[in-house]
Amino acid sequence: MNPRDLLLALTVVTIWGVNFVVIEVGLEDFPPLLFTALRFFFAAVPAMFLLGRPRVAWRYVVGVGLALGVAKFGLVFFAMDRGVPAGLASLVLQCQVIFTVVFAIAVLRERPRPAQLAGIAIACAGMLVILLDRGLSAPVGAVALVILAGACWGVSNTITRSAKPQDTLRFMVWVSAVAVVPLLVLSLLTEGPQADLDALRGIDLTGVGALAFLAFVATLFGFGVWGYLLRQYDASTVAPFSLLVPVVGMAAAWLLRGEAVGVQQAIAAALIIGGMACTVIRPAAAASASPEPVTTRTPELHRQSTR
């Protein structure tokens, strides 16, 4: 990877890591489901007219829009609103790698490599450490919602694997468009019209800035650059950069929000990131001789995202 593209890759993972802190800030101004809907609205509406129709079957666009846009991001925003700190959310959400491999085995009949199975076991141990950590400031139920969001992300990755979109940015824009209406309906039903109206009437520069960052920087710029990198290099070259997202997320939460990282959480982080590395990184000889594993497709959609 040339120096310019290396800088682009590092810029994207930095943006996606800081993204969790921005979500936490934005939730101070918006109900979580309304905030999610607005993020996708501003990411999708201007761009969908410029980029044109998606180049994959609509069933894939709708499927990923519901699994990723509505379920995954909705659950993450809701869980963070209920007390999951930004750094912890960025870490726990990476359980999507586990679910992606499991779903690929079950649905796509892919044969896992021994390193992938070892990685799943290591990452699961990290998740168990997180759940047993009674020193966390987040309720266990809210952390469980982030794990459920990871499962939904795994579903969307499996659908994306089948869709094989050639243009990641165009695909993500239309996925975002699909998510807007269901999220708005859910917001009205669960958060209430009055809460939504109050949030929109009281919007300030902080709320505008958070929305702009999520919609234009994290989504459009992030996925646009990530798609460019995936077109220029093998996925096995680009994918490992996503391992830095939770590292940046935890560091940003510590620096910008004062979120402490205890010994037990640091151990869990090492286990989860190490397990992810086992599923994504392959020896150079194997990478050139065999098709890419399912996990090398996961960065196409967020990485966290949130996505």
Q: Are 28 and 209 spatial neighbours (Cβ–Cβ below 8 Å)?
A: no
Q: Is 294 domain-assigned? A: yes
More confident residue, 88 or 236: 88
- The DSSP code for 196 is H
Per-residue HEC secondary structure of 273-297 comes to: HHHHHHHHCCCHHHHHHCCCCHHHH
| pLDDT surpasses 60 at 265 | yes
The mean pLDDT of 256-279, rounded to a whole number, is: 80
**202, pLDDT greater than 80:** yes
* Mean pLDDT of all residues in 226-237: 77
Q: Distance between CA 160 and CA 31 in Å, rounded? A: 29
- In this predicted model, which residue has the larger pLDDT, 305 or 112? 112
Q: Is residue 220 part of a domain?
A: yes
Write out the residue range of the structural domain in which residue 193 sits. Answer: 3-301
Q: Is 248 exposed, middle or buried (0-12, 13-18, 19+ CB in 10 A)?
A: buried
- 285 is a domain residue: yes
Strand extents, DSSP E, 201-300: none
Select the more confidently predicted residue: 40 or 130.
40
At 302 the pLDDT is 43
Instruction: Please compute Rg for the chain using Cα positions.
Output: 18
Run of H or E residues at 75? helix 73-81
Whether the predicted pLDDT of 126 surpasses 90: no
232 neighbors 5 (Cβ within 8 angstroms): yes
Is residue 306 in some structural domain?
no
- The answer to whether residue 307 sits within a structural domain is no
Question: Is 18 among the domain residues?
Answer: yes
Q: For 305, left (φ over 0), alpha (ψ -120 to 50), or beta?
A: left
Question: What average pLDDT score do residues 39-43 get?
Answer: 94
State how many domains the chain has: 1
The encoded tokens of residue 116 equal 């992938």
Q: How many CA atoms lie within 13 A of 147 on its CB side?
A: 15
Lowest mean pLDDT among 5-19, 94-108, 269-283: 269-283
**Residue 47 located in a structural domain:** yes
What pTM was estimated for this model as a whole?
A: 0.83
